[in-house]
Amino acid sequence: MDRVVPSPVATTSADTPPSDSLLAASRPTTGGGAFQKGVEALAQYVAREGRLPGRGVVEVLPDGVEHRTGIWLGNMKARRDRLDAARLRALAELGVEWAR
């Protein structure tokens, strides 16, 4: 009986797993940090444009991170019944009517 021997294959960068630091940087932040990033992006957009963003708005924060501000705001509206008073107040101060 013949044995199948795997042939050696050159390893490419696609075969190597990404580093832990790269994975951590690409993951969305959770908890209060994610909300703070959203408020920061929303405040920056409102200060510049004078209105709330549409769903497709992507805001670039001062640290260079892109934030999908329009989608984030829609998600906050969908979850408004689970937001605490401080978070609702922060959104209301930026002109979000449904947060009042």
Rounded CA-CA distance 10/92 in Å is: 57
Tens digit of pLDDT for each residue in 48-79?
Answer: 999 999 999 999 999 999 999 999 999 999 99
Q: What is the pTM of this model?
A: 0.69
**Average pLDDT, rounded, for the chain:** 83
Angle at 57 (CA atoms; ends 18, 67), nearest 5 degrees: 35
Please check whether residue 37 is in contact with residue 67, taking contact to mean a CB–CB distance below 8 angstroms. yes
For residue 31, pLDDT over 90 is answered with: no
pLDDT at position 11 over 70:
no
Q: Is 67 helix (H, G, I), strand (E, B) or coil?
A: strand
